[in-house]
Amino acid sequence: MGPLHTDRGQEARGVRVVVGGERGPFKLLPQKKRTKRDRHARTRVAFFRYSYYDIAFKFFVEQVLDADFVALPPATKRTIELGSRHSSDFVCAPFKHILGDYIEALELGADVLVQFAGPCRLGYYGELQQSILRDLGYEFDMLNFAMLTGKPLTEYISTCKKKVNPDVSVPHGARNMLAVFKMIENLDEANDYYLANAGFEVVPGSFDRARAAYFDAMRLAACERDIAEAHRAGMEAYRALPTNRPGRVLRVGIVGEYFTAADPSSNLDLERKLLGMGVELHRMLNMTNRNLRYNEKNLRASISDYVTYDMGPTSSMTIAAALKYAQEGFDGVVHLKSAGCTPEVDCMPVLQRISRNTGMPVLYLSYDSQTSDTGLDTRLEAFYDMLAMKKERTR
| CATH number of domain containing 161 | 3.40.50
Domain total of the chain: 4
d(Cα 395, Cα 392) in Å, to the nearest integer? 6
On whether both 234 and 262 belong to a single domain, the answer is no
**What confidence tens digit (pLDDT) does each residue in 124-143 have?**
888 999 999 999 999 999 99
Is residue 162 packed enough to be buried (19+ CB in 10 Å), middle (13-18) or exposed (0-12)? exposed
Say if CB 250 and CB 280 are below 8 A apart. Answer: yes
pLDDT of 380 higher than 60:
yes
| 97/108 same-domain check | yes
* Cα 166 from chain centre: 29
What is the bridge-based pairing of β-strands 24-30 and 15-21? antiparallel
SS (H, E, C) 20-43: EECCEEEEEEECCCCCCCCCCCCC
pLDDT value at residue 309: 87
111: number of CA atoms within 13 Å, CB side? Answer: 18
| Residue 89 neighbours by CB distance under 10 Å | 9
Q: Are residues 20 and 137 in the same domain?
A: no
Residue 193: burial class (beta carbons within 10 Å; 0-12, 13-18, 19+): middle
**Judgement on whether residues 185 and 325 belong to the same structural domain of the protein:** no
Quick one: 361 exposed, middle or buried, by C-beta within 10 A (0-12, 13-18, 19+)?
Answer: middle
Does residue 26 surpass a pLDDT of 50?
no
How many angstroms separate the CA atoms of 388 and 382, rounded? 10
Q: Is residue 138 part of a domain?
A: yes
Q: From 225, 245, 265, give the residue that closes a domain.
A: 245
| Same domain, residue pair 110 and 193 | no
Question: Would you say residue 38 lies in a domain?
Answer: no
User: What's the pLDDT score for residue 40?
Assistant: 57
CB 274 within 8 A of CB 252: yes
Q: Is residue 39 in some structural domain?
A: no
| 69 and 191 both lie in a single domain | no
Residue 321 — pLDDT band, cuts 50, 70, 90?
very high
**In a domain? residue 287:** yes
Asked if 115 and 206 sit in the same domain, the reply is no
Q: What is the pLDDT of residue 1?
A: 39
State residue 14's pLDDT score: 40
Residue 142 lies in a domain: yes
* 37 domain-assigned: no
Whether residue 303 sits in one domain with residue 158: no
Global confidence as pTM: 0.88
Last residue of a domain, one of 191, 222, 245: 245
pLDDT of residue 123: 76
Torsion, CA 375, CA 380, CA 386, CA 391, rounded to 10? 180
Same domain, 233 and 292: no
**148 in the same domain as 67:** yes
Q: What percent of the chain has pLDDT over 90?
A: 77
Least confident of 36-45, 111-120, 127-136, 173-182: 36-45
Average pLDDT for residues 172-194, to the nearest whole number?
97
Domain residue limits at 303: 246-395
CB of 355 closer than 8 Å to CB of 330: no
Identify the pLDDT of residue 119: 66
Q: What is the mean pLDDT of the chain?
A: 89
Cα 51 from chain centroid (whole Å): 5
Predicted pLDDT of residue 12: 37
User: Are residues 268 and 348 located together in one domain of the fold?
Assistant: yes
pLDDT of 179: 98
The pairs formed by 230-238 with CB atoms below 8 angstroms and a separation of 24 or more are 230/186, 231/186, 231/189, 231/190, 234/190, 234/210, 235/189, 235/190, 235/193, 237/210, 237/213, 238/190, 238/193, 238/194, 238/197, 238/207, 238/210, 238/214
In a domain, residue 54? The reply is yes
Query: Has residue 174 been placed in a domain?
Result: no
Confidence of residue 328 (pLDDT cuts 50, 70, 90): very high
Do residue 257 and residue 240 come from a single domain?
Answer: no
- Kind and range of the H or E run holding 57: helix 54-59
Question: In this structure, what DSSP letter does residue 113 have?
Answer: E
122 band by pLDDT with thresholds 50, 70 and 90: confident
Burial string for 231-247 (b: 16+ CB within 10 Å, else e) reads beebbebbeebeeeeee
- Predicted pLDDT of residue 39: 56
* CATH code of the domain covering residue 389: 3.40.50.11900
pLDDT more than 70, % of the chain: 89
The Cα 71–Cα 119 span in angstroms is 25
Please tell me the distance from the alpha carbon of residue 103 to that of residue 136, in angstroms, as a whole number.
Answer: 9
Domain termination residue (choose one: 245, 272, 301): 245
pLDDT 10s digits, 259-312: 999 999 999 999 999 999 999 999 999 999 999 999 999 999 999 999 988 888
Report the pLDDT value the prediction gives residue 34, as an integer from 0 to 100: 52
What confidence score (pLDDT) does residue 364 get? 97
Cis amide prior to 313 (ω within 30 degrees): no
Q: 273: exposed, middle or buried (C-beta count within 10 Å: 0-12, 13-18, 19+)?
A: middle
